[in-house]
Amino acid sequence: MSPGPTVALVEVATTQGPGRFHVSESSAPVALLVLGHGAGGGVDAADLTALAHALPDRGVTVLRFEQPWRVAGRKVASRPPLLDEAWLAGLGAVLDAVGAGLPLVLGGRSAGARVACRTATALGAVGVVCLSFPLHPPGRPERSRLAELLTPTVPRLVLQGTRDTFGGAAELTTDLVGQDGAAGVRVVALDGADHGGRVPAKASPTAVELRERVVAATSAFVDELVRGGGIPDPGTR
């Protein structure tokens, strides 16, 4: 495995305190993917890290945004409106410097996916990538967050575990039937994965194989959005 791109840290001021971007820059970018983390973890989540490691070689600069509550070392995430506020402020501070002229794709895992969906229109994103979209709290299907996933009008890719207690791939697919805007949502099932992307011991596919699927599906999705063809190896550009 290649060592991956160098990760630069960029601190930004927000109304919630300092936030931090982890920047994995492509040498020849055709798109910018900005990812947010979940309420129970940070930007070092395995799937977020895998995307930041692999996609720059495929022409996609990846920014992972560390929310101010996490930078400050707090254990409990901020309320959704404050997450959106910090995310918008952070992106406002870096987009011109890092992603000027590049198509913007937003995304994130769990709560970060919700933030991306709620802010996609305001930020002019061309697509949204949702990792483990939390359809509802565990055991509370009546508290659906499907409306947030349906808010953007741009294409959405949802990578969802089949054992996700926040709403598995099959449940999400069923709930989308007949909904306005559902045609723009593509659900990719991650067999055996729970909300955190974990799989049982000796499961097939393994967690590593599922992360490879996440990378491949995300790369293809971004490619469809911005180029309509295969992203060439860097040496062929």
Share of the chain above pLDDT 90, in %: 85
End-to-end Cα distance, the chain: 22
Give the C-alpha separation, 183 to 196, whole Å: 26
- Is residue 232 pLDDT above 90, yes or no? no
> What's residue 217's pLDDT?
97
Structure tokens at 209: 């194989």
Please provide the DSSP assignment of 40-104 as one string.
T--TT-HHHHHHHHHGGGGTEEEEEEE-HHHHTT-SSPPPHHHHHHHHHHHHHHHHHHHSTTSPE
pLDDT band at 7 (very low <50, low <70, confident <90, very high): confident
The one-letter amino acid at 78 = S
List domains and CATH numbers for the chain.
7-227 (3.40.50.1820)
- Would the pLDDT of 36 be above 70? yes
Q: What are phi and psi of 186, to 5 degrees?
A: -110, 120
Two structure tokens written together for 147: 């409306």
Tokens of 184: 């723009």
Q: What are phi and psi of 234, to 5 degrees?
A: -55, -35
- Which residues share a beta bridge with 108? 36, 130
